[in-house]
Amino acid sequence: MQLLRGVVQHYDWGDQQAIPQFLGVEPDAKPWAELWFGTHRGGPSLVKTSSGNQPLALYAGELSFLVKIIAAAKPLSLQTHPTDEQAQSGYQQENEIGIPLDSPLRIYKDASAKPELLVALTPFEAICGFRTDQENIELCSRFGWTELGKHLADDGLAECVRWALTTGPHNLPQHMPAWAGRLATMYPGNGGVLVALLMHHVKLQPGQALYLGAGNVHAYLGGTGFEVMSSSDNVVRAAFTQKNINIDEFLNVAHLTPITSPLVEATQIGNGVWQYPVGTARFGTQRIDVSGSHEVRATHDAEIVVCTSGNAGALTAGHAAVLRNGETISLSGNATVFRTWGTR
């Protein structure tokens, strides 16, 4: 077992306080959006050894998964993520065109899908997936969203989303939920607000989770969470951002069909151990509510263990460790610890 040093990403939507407090350092007025633990080229972690820091990839190999602490003070983009086939094709095409990997015009920064799980650490707000057409038509009628409701009823969800994103600026409805009103104030006339009105709005409490498979349309609106995903940074954006937006590719990748509740429920598999179901074999995640003593023995090539609150003895809040197969870490005290792993 070795301690890990994560990499901070200073995106403009980040919270200035949450991650510095998590790490026990002084805020510096910058937005601290994400803290990465993994081997992705966009922010490879370091392992703290007796002979100094070394890249995690040299210690444990290239990981197929990426762990993040995310802290959103402002809404993130309306976005989706590709399948493996879409990522491989897009990555090859952008390489052939000659778009540099660090170009702001680049969509596909690697050749991997990006399924992800988000577990709330604080109250967390998001929009995720679409309600049924019937539910949305009833809401449009109830709140006077006449134009939106007509397009949905006449053309169906996919064409309604296409209309919202490819035309405009729009005269947005006056009567909207508070969260949508905030988006409309930040992005006046933006068709992404109309798309958002058709989506599930969720408020997660700590410990609750969302699983976002390929093609799922979503936007995080605010809060701090624990994320695990494939080791990928492929994001296809449609609205609510100054970053590269590609509506055509978004419409090609997005699943523009209704889903039921996007929430996933953790299952208790042991004393204080909860496992989150995910629709992928690429990674797994457990939450360990430490109360007393608990030993974690790694059963995969590499596992990352992160303490998100409290004091677990070997780890305290804000600290992470990597375990190779067969290695153990002994936890004691009162704390919340996440255990994650992947498959190569």
What mean pLDDT value characterizes the chain? 96
Nearest Cα to Cα of residue 308 among 329, 284, 326, 290? 290
| pLDDT in the model for residue 65 | 95
- Are 71 and 209 in a shared domain? yes
From CA 32, how far away is CA 35, in angstroms rounded? 8
Q: Are 119 and 125 in contact (CB under 8 A)?
A: no
Nearest Cα to Cα of residue 164 among 181, 180, 147? 147
Q: What are phi and psi of 70, to 5 degrees?
A: -115, 135
Is residue 190 predicted with pLDDT exceeding 70? yes
Q: What is the pTM of this model?
A: 0.95
Could you tell me the two tokens for 169? 């600026």
Is residue 258 predicted with pLDDT exceeding 90? yes
Is residue 140 predicted with pLDDT exceeding 90? yes
**Looking at residues 158-176, what average pLDDT do you find?**
96
**Looking at residues 275-280, what average pLDDT do you find?**
90
- Are 258 and 153 in a shared domain? no
Nearest Cα to Cα of residue 218 among 189, 250, 186, 177? 250
- Are 172 and 212 in a shared domain? no
Is residue 50 predicted with pLDDT exceeding 90? no
CA-atom Rg of the chain in angstroms: 21
| pLDDT in the model for residue 281 | 79
Is residue 69 predicted with pLDDT exceeding 80? yes
DSSP state of 231: S
Q: What percent of the chain is predicted at pLDDT more than 90?
A: 94
3-state DSSP call for residue 186?
A: helix
Is residue 344 predicted with pLDDT exceeding 60? no
| pLDDT in the model for residue 22 | 95
- Are 176 and 272 in a shared domain? no
- Are 217 and 89 in a shared domain? yes
**Looking at residues 290-306, what average pLDDT do you find?**
95
**Looking at residues 267-283, what average pLDDT do you find?**
92
| pLDDT in the model for residue 238 | 98
Give the structural domain span for 142. Answer: 133-197
Q: What is the pLDDT of residues 72-129, one digit of tens each?
A: 999 999 999 999 999 999 999 999 999 999 999 999 999 999 999 999 999 999 999 9
Is residue 10 predicted with pLDDT exceeding 90? yes
**Looking at residues 11-25, what average pLDDT do you find?**
96
Q: Are 81 and 242 in contact (CB under 8 A)?
A: no
Could you tell me the two tokens for 320? 């992470």
Nearest Cα to Cα of residue 109 among 77, 128, 69, 81? 81
- Are 11 and 143 in a shared domain? no
Residue 227 is part of a domain; what is its CATH number? Answer: 2.60.120.10
**Looking at residues 264-286, what average pLDDT do you find?**
93
Q: Which of 166-170, 179-183, 184-188, 257-261 has the lowest mean pLDDT?
A: 257-261
- Are 169 and 46 in a shared domain? no
Q: Structurally, how many domains does the chain consist of?
A: 3
- Are 256 and 273 in a shared domain? no
| pLDDT in the model for residue 75 | 98
- Are 179 and 215 in a shared domain? no
Q: Mark which of 197, 220, 243 sits at the end of a domain.
A: 197
- Are 172 and 309 in a shared domain? no
Q: Are 239 and 78 in contact (CB under 8 A)?
A: yes
Q: Which residues touch 243 (CB under 8 Å, ≥6 apart)?
A: 77, 104, 237
Q: What are phi and psi of 152, to 5 degrees?
A: -65, -45
| pLDDT in the model for residue 52 | 87
312: confidence class by pLDDT, cuts 50, 70, 90: very high
